[in-house]
Amino acid sequence: MRLRLVVAAGLATLAFAACSRLPGAATTPTAGDGPSGLPAIPLAEGRLAPRVQYPAANSTIGTRDSNFVFGSVGNGRATLTINGLPVRVAPNGAWLAFLPVPRATGRYELVAAVGADTARLTHPVRVSPVAAAPVPLAEAGRLAVDSASVVLPRARTLLREEERVRVGIRAPANATVWVGWDGGLQMLAAQPASANLFATEVPARALRGGGTLFVARGADTVRFPIARVETVDPITPRLVQLGDPTPADTDRVVIGRPTPAGSYKWLLLPGTVVEQTGRQDAFVRVRLDSQLEVWIDSGDVQPLAAGALLARRTAGNITLAPSAEWVDVQIPMPSRAPFLVEQQPRRVVLTLYGTTQSVDLIRHLGNDTLVRVVSWVPEASDRVRLDLELSQDPYGYLVLWEPGRMVLRLRRPPAIDARRPLQGLTLVVDAGHPPGGAIGPTGLTEAQAALDVARRVQRLLEERGARVVMTRTTMDAVDLRQRSVIARRANAHALLSIHLNAFGEGVNPFTQNGTSTLFFHPQSEPLSRAIQRHLMRRLGLRDLGIHYQNIAIGRTTWMPALITEGLFLMVPEQEHAMRTEQGQEAYARGVVDGTVEYFRGLGTRD
């Protein structure tokens, strides 16, 4: 799931007293929040026992105004107030509220009542301080600047000599601001967005010995030291190896991002050698070719010995080698190249960075027709684009390194009998979590609920003729990365990961809960749409749609892979549904119905 809550009820003060019945609910679900196709919640008439499931006692709440709180009181006939505000109690005693953060008191005061019985609970929390108001920047009196606004290069920054480094600060409009270094200085100019914002950009080479940011007015001067900026030697490049190429059978890739800590985009082979061109915080910038640089987690970068040279990657003639389940596009070259695979309808595009190629022969062995035509375009002097026209939509792929060649393995769609579309398929069912996961008001964990649904998905798929591989069958933790490896080793035709959802702090759960399905690669989109349609039909909740999202399970390339987020555990009706056979079966049948529809569609295509 996208955002996870791992919480436990903490210590609290509990007291019983007699008082009159309190008024009704404060936070009422809006249209579309009702149970719809979910089972009704039976009445629980147990002992009053107020409990806060989230947030945990003494945990820190980061939101500024309001946040969700949920838990149970043990009796569905109870009324409940929290900090004097009435909260709706579900028939099983569960409750969910969206309340002002108790910034003044640092605690939630719960009062639950049934008739003459009353139970009280004091639940302490820590509240993050509100961001301080901007420093007043008076144009008279003693000089004051906004030190929190200072923009300076961080320690251990590595850049090219000519790259520009931004320096800035908020200061009074009548101040003079400049940056100085050994042998030079540069003034900061007031920016159009605000007369109090001063900024400039300085060449990295000027700050190789560090520097100082000065703000002055009259006799007053404020100074901020600037850390040394390392610069890349323009003559001798720094070469690095990405990842460790020695572990086998792991599906290990090295993630490339367009910005530090940005979105995943490039899934590179461990052992690829590239030039390092920068460093910022925990990320290293590397050059893929003369026109493109990307950012890599520093833990995936191993410096090579000084004087190491970048291999001249020249790709040779291409061979298409078919087998029963795939076609290998074999590209001879001396070392691993950075690459990008893009999937389109009946087309796959492979871009090789830092590579030249001059193709005068493309061998289509076996007269196989999955790959109809291969065309190549030298997009730059060190970039080649291979355009592969297919007879069918892409189904899955792997990029492999074999001694002396890169291999793009294109998977064939399975042969489907439209009358029994799952017969003979291998499907991997992944019960999401543990570790981690969401939790509901009465303590049901996502790990347990997902496993209950996954077991039902397994049974339904097997009844329809599929071979099912489960990534876990117990509550023991399974490494997230290993789940995709399990699916690839099983040569699965799809990977279905079952989850329950949760919100991050500050989101109103009454207006935004529902059902969604997440995917990453294009081959997973049709299956995601089919499953989402049937989850909506079976569960009847708000349609949150399908999402392209950067999820670990979804990065699997050998098969369609997705995550279902059927319900939100923090909502009492939805948590209860996951405790019942009826609710679990509805979720499971939505997943299986969509899977059947998708594979039946494969069997009816031309």
Query: How high is the pLDDT of residue 10?
Result: 36
Domain closes at, from 214, 231, 248:
231
How does pLDDT run across 293-313, given as a tens digit for each residue? 999 999 999 999 988 888 889
Query: How high is the pLDDT of residue 129?
Result: 84
| 476 and 572 share one domain | yes
CA-based max dimension of the chain? 91
| 218 and 287 share one domain | no
SS3 content of the chain, % helix, strand, coil (to 5): 15, 40, 45
**Helix (H), strand (E), coil (C) string for 92-143:** CCEEEEEEECCCCCCEEEEEEEECCEEEEEEEECEECCCCCCCCCCCCCCCC
In a domain, 420, yes or no: no
Between 589 and 9, whose confidence is greater? 589
Q: What is the CA radius of gyration of the chain?
A: 30
Nearest to 239, CA basis, from 162, 161, 311 = 311
Quick check: bond before 50 cis, omega within 30? no
Domain closes at, from 231, 250, 285:
231
pLDDT band at 36 (very low <50, low <70, confident <90, very high): low
- What is the Cα–Cα distance from 501 to 513, expressed in whole angstroms? 9
| 459 and 597 share one domain | yes
The percent of residues above 90 in pLDDT, for the chain, comes to 85
CATH classification at residue 256:
2.30.30.40
Quick check: 21 pLDDT over 80?
no
Quick check: 7 pLDDT over 90?
no
Spatial CB neighbours of 554, under 8 Å, sequence gap ≥ 6: 518, 519, 520, 521, 524, 561, 562, 563
Nearest to 39, CA basis, from 580, 480, 508, 599 = 580
Query: How high is the pLDDT of residue 431?
Result: 98
Quick check: 4 pLDDT over 60?
no
Query: How high is the pLDDT of residue 84?
Result: 97
In a domain, 594, yes or no: yes
In degrees rounded to 5, what are phi and psi of residue 450? -65, -40
Quick check: 92 pLDDT over 60?
yes
For range 24-40, the mean pLDDT: 53
CA dihedral 20, 23, 29, 34 (to 10 degrees): 60
- What is the Cα–Cα distance from 248 to 270, expressed in whole angstroms? 11
Quick check: 29 pLDDT over 60?
no
In a domain, 421, yes or no: no
Nearest to 58, CA basis, from 122, 111, 135 = 122
DSSP string, 50-76: -EEEESPTTPEE--SSEEEEEEE-SBT
How does pLDDT run across 455-497, given as a tens digit for each residue? 999 999 999 999 999 999 999 999 998 999 999 999 999 999 9
- What is the Cα–Cα distance from 209 to 197, expressed in whole angstroms? 26
| 482 and 538 share one domain | yes
CATH classification at residue 62:
2.60.40.10
| 399 and 470 share one domain | no
CATH classification at residue 395:
2.60.40.3500
How does pLDDT run across 349-379, given as a tens digit for each residue? 999 999 999 889 999 999 999 999 999 999 9
Exposed / middle / buried, residue 284 (Cβ in 10 Å: 0-12, 13-18, 19+): buried
| 445 and 585 share one domain | yes
- What is the Cα–Cα distance from 573 to 34, expressed in whole angstroms? 8
- What is the Cα–Cα distance from 423 to 558, expressed in whole angstroms? 20
| 260 and 323 share one domain | no
pLDDT band at 25 (very low <50, low <70, confident <90, very high): very low
Tally of structural domains, the chain = 5
| 32 and 112 share one domain | yes
Between 7 and 406, whose confidence is greater? 406
Nearest to 399, CA basis, from 562, 557, 560 = 557
In a domain, 360, yes or no: yes
- Sign, CA dihedral 585-591-597-600, equals negative
Which H or E run contains 600?
Answer: helix 581-604
Q: Helix or strand or coil: residue 445? A: strand
| 326 and 472 share one domain | no
In a domain, 5, yes or no: no
Task: Provide the residue range defining the domain that includes 264.
Answer: 238-303
- What is the Cα–Cα distance from 278 to 257, expressed in whole angstroms? 14
In a domain, 416, yes or no: no
- H helices present in 395-524, as ranges: 446-463, 480-489, 509-512
Quick check: 18 pLDDT over 60?
no
Q: For residue 285, list its beta bridge partners.
A: 278, 295
pLDDT band at 247 (very low <50, low <70, confident <90, very high): confident
Quick check: 597 pLDDT over 80?
yes
State how far Cα 269 lies from the chain centre. 21
Query: How high is the pLDDT of residue 588?
Result: 98
Query: How high is the pLDDT of residue 235?
Result: 83
- What is the Cα–Cα distance from 509 to 98, expressed in whole angstroms? 7
- Sign, CA dihedral 31-32-33-34, equals positive
For range 61-78, the mean pLDDT: 94
| 59 and 197 share one domain | no
- What is the Cα–Cα distance from 429 to 497, expressed in whole angstroms? 6
Query: How high is the pLDDT of residue 248?
Result: 73
In degrees rounded to 5, what are phi and psi of residue 279? -155, 140
At 328, the amino acid letter reads D
| 289 and 317 share one domain | no
State how far Cα 109 lies from the chain centre. 35
Quick check: 281 pLDDT over 70?
yes
Q: How far is CA 363 from CA 19, 186, 208, 321, 371, in A?
A: 87, 61, 53, 8, 11
| 383 and 449 share one domain | no
pLDDT band at 182 (very low <50, low <70, confident <90, very high): very high
Query: How high is the pLDDT of residue 606?
Result: 52
Lowest mean pLDDT among 80-89, 186-195, 208-217, 453-462: 186-195
Q: How many residues are recorded in the chain?
A: 606
Lowest mean pLDDT among 93-107, 130-144, 338-352, 435-449: 130-144
Domain closes at, from 360, 385, 411:
411
In a domain, 6, yes or no: no
In a domain, 83, yes or no: yes
In degrees rounded to 5, what are phi and psi of residue 472? -155, 150
| Cβ neighbours, 10 Å, residue 27 | 20
pLDDT band at 37 (very low <50, low <70, confident <90, very high): confident
CATH classification at residue 475:
3.40.630.40
How does pLDDT run across 518-531, given as a tens digit for each residue? 999 999 999 999 99
Query: How high is the pLDDT of residue 598?
Result: 98
pLDDT band at 605 (very low <50, low <70, confident <90, very high): low
- What is the Cα–Cα distance from 41 to 72, expressed in whole angstroms? 14
